[in-house]
Chain A
Amino acid sequence: MTTTGRKFAIGIMLLLAAGGAIGWFYDRPLTGLLLAALLTLIWQVRQLLTFERALRTDNFNDFRSGEGIWEQIYSRFRFERDRAVRRKASYRSLLKEIRKSTNAMPDGAVILDGNNEIIVSNRAARTLAGLKRRKDRGQRIENILRDPEIGRLLNDTDFGSSAEIPSPLIDGNWLNCRVVPYGADQKLLLMRDVTERTKLSKMRRDFVANASHELRSPLTVISGYLDALSEDDEMPAAWGKPVEQMRSQAARMKHILGEMLELSRLESSGSATTEEAIDVASLLERIRRDFQNPDAAPILLRNESRAGLLGVRAEIESAVVNLLSNAIRHTPQDGSITVSWRSGPEGAELIVEDTGEGVEADQIHRLTERFFRVDRGRSRTEGGVGLGLAIVKHVLARHDADLGVSSEPGSGSIFACRFPPQRVVVAPPVVLS
């Protein structure tokens, strides 16, 4: 018990004792005690009421202080109250700072709860996606950002992917959106304006396509004259070899331009149609017949499935041709190349396997880059253009497929094109006559 508390108890007891003593003096001790108790009660109740009034009106100046324990309670209360007010003010300014900093972020951020309902959004989210600060609180984010891609992102539990959606506010602008897990059962949606980047990559694509196109016509003239020259009997013999070399280089340039055009076409178009079912097994057989050459490694064909592939025949053919010519180029004559086509419940696979020189592990991921060559020293005429695998990659992307590469230097490489089940149709059973 504190000193004030002890003083308070002793005071009450002294009062009661005084009442009792006075009562005893008049031979009525109980009445005296009772009167003293009543007096104490009235006094305390008055104090209590005054305190209550001071609390209610929040005006402590009128409160009569100086009465023992009540003064203590009063000052303690006032102290705690002032501290709470000060703390609140400091939290408020801290919160303001945090809000200021999230608002200063150039990227939009929205905190979502487990049902994808908006908890907080920053200013950039409001200017980029047109969210409203108060009105949209508690609204599901996919109700406002209705692009189907957003729904896919929110349902994706891996949180790995991002999506580019057209801006819901400004036509022609693009937003890159990502969803990351945040706190307990919450998500954070991040948005970034990628209009500039999208424009730049479109410009690059257009430039490559236009440049290749423009280069083609002068090249046709050059190679036409070279053809004529090489057949000219009156040409001095000393010019024979140079002209022949110019011709072959011109042909090579034509080939490169053709592939660049093909690549930019593949890049700028979306998903391939699913209207035609390609009979992959017979396609592979035909390609093998074209490629079979006694001077190169033998090609073995393993058609384990008769399943059809939904896609564009010419593109799939060019992908297979590219893979196969790569394999032939990198496999010695005594090696072998295996092409297989198989399907299962999780999709279909087209695999080109060779026993050639293989690729170092750290170069595998660079294989599909344009003009990338594993062997820098390899002469440009002997090697390919360097666009083959880039074309394969884009063809596969257009068919929702991906390319898996595994390789062991010295013992060979495996290129596997994996197609998802929705691209595969089981062909009707072949009726044997």
Chain B
Amino acid sequence: MEASDLNDHISRRFNKDIEDLRSSVLAMGGLVESQLSQAIVAMVRGDSELGLQVARDDYKVNNLEVGIDEECGRILATRSPAAGDLRLIVAIIKTITDLERIGDEAEKIGFLASKLAAMDRPADSYRELKTLGTHVSHMLRDAMNAFARLDVEEALEVVREDEHVDEEYDAIQRQCITFMMEDPRTIKRVMNVTWAARSLERIGDHAKNICEYVIYMVKGKDVRHTGISDSSEIPDN
């Protein structure tokens, strides 16, 4: 399936419906992206007000999810889409669930940032969280780009990238455990850091899921749990 395939329906209205639906999913993605990057900024700068702002704004993401879900149901009921269109709708229904979960994780990070802002800050101002956060937000950005461009190569790139995120998460966890063993007084603070890292790692997983839906949408093949990491391994149909 190519991007142009989405625009060759006989019904002009259907074209527009599909295109609007895609745009609203990507708008939701954009909102989630900005929520995530603000949550990371709040964490790194120790800005409790910004962190709470992110936590408060999560309702916007939720509203978008409900709206898009409804629209998908309407299109399924009235247009009975088939083939590529059906795959698109199915992929969208799944994608928005993952996006909403990413929004929830960003909310969590924002909340943790406001909590951590009130505690002692380490000299490196959570540099390792910043690195992981940047990594994960790049993954999310690339996942949404792959969704917009129906780009299988880019989607696979993100799927491969998830491994590095997992490694980074492990490293942070080890580091945190060391801190806690060295000085038990830091446990309360470091626990919050591990929670934030955990949330970031989950976001990476959700971004990976979205990319798998993109591959499903374009190629019609389900690559979940198959370990496929190269486009030549995906049979064309």
Contacts and interface: CB of A to CB of B under 8 A. Distances in A.
A binds B: yes
Nearest to B29: A146
A206 to B, nearest CB: 13
How many A residues touch the partner, as a band?
20 to 34
Contacts of B144: 146
B23 A142 contact: yes
Interface in B1-48: 3-4, 7, 19, 22-23, 26-27, 29-31, 33-34, 37
Given A168-B141, A273-B49, A140 B34 contact: no
B179 to A, nearest CB: 27
Nearest to B27: A151
Chain A interface secondary structure, helix, strand, loop or mixed?
A: loop
Interface stretch (A53-61, A89-97, A130-138, A236-244): A130-138
A146 B140 CA distance: 12
B14 to A, nearest CB: 15
Contacts of B33: 146-147
Contacts of A270: 49-50, 53
B125 to A, nearest CB: 15
Contacts, number: 54
Given A115-B19, A139-B148, A146 B53 contact: no
A104 to B, nearest CB: 27
Contacts of A332: none
Contacts of B192: none
Contact of A148 (B22, B31, B141): B31
Nearest to B33: A146
Contacts of B4: 138
A171 interface: yes
Nearest to A116: B23
Interface string A112-149: 00010000000000000010100110111011111110
**Max chain A CB contacts within 10 Å: which of B27, B33, B134, B151?**
B27
A138 B26 CA distance: 16
Interface in A143-165: 143-148, 150-151
A145 B29 CA distance: 11
A138 B5 CA distance: 12
A271 interface: yes
A166 interface: yes
A167 B21 CA distance: 25
Contacts of B145: 130, 144
B53 A143 contact: no
A269 interface: yes
Interface residues of B, number: 25
A394 to B, nearest CB: 15
A140 B19 contact: yes
B188 interface: no
Contact of B149 (A132, A146, A166): A132
Contact of A142 (B3, B26, B151): B26
B23 A140 contact: yes
Contacts of B52: 273
B133 to A, nearest CB: 10
A151 B34 CA distance: 13
B37 A271 contact: no
A166 B37 contact: yes
A217 to B, nearest CB: 23
A260 to B, nearest CB: 21
A138 B149 CA distance: 11
A175 to B, nearest CB: 14
A48 B37 CA distance: 73
Contacts of A150: 30
Contacts of B30: 142, 145-148, 150-151
Contact of A269 (B27, B49, B149): B49
Contacts of B29: 146
Nearest to A172: B134
Nearest to B41: A166
Contacts of A130: 145
Contacts of B134: 171
Contact of A147 (B19, B34, B148, B149): B34
Interface string B108-127: 00000000000000000000
B49 A148 contact: no
A140 B49 CA distance: 34
Nearest to A171: B134
Contacts of B141: 168
Contacts of B19: 115, 140
Contact of B34 (A135, A143, A148): A148
Contacts of A148: 27, 30-31, 34
25 contacts: A115-B19, A135-B3, A135-B149, A135-B151, A136-B149, A138-B4, A139-B3, A139-B148, A139-B149, A140-B19, A140-B23, A143-B22, A143-B23, A143-B26, A143-B148, A144-B145, A146-B26, A146-B144, A147-B30, A147-B33, A168-B141, A171-B134, A270-B53, A271-B53, A273-B52
Interface of A: 115, 130, 132, 135-136, 138-140, 142-148, 150-151, 166, 168, 171, 269-271, 273
Question: When A and B form their complex, which 7 residue pairs have the shortest distance between CB atoms, in order from nearest?
Answer: A146-B30, A143-B148, A143-B26, A140-B23, A146-B26, A148-B31, A146-B29
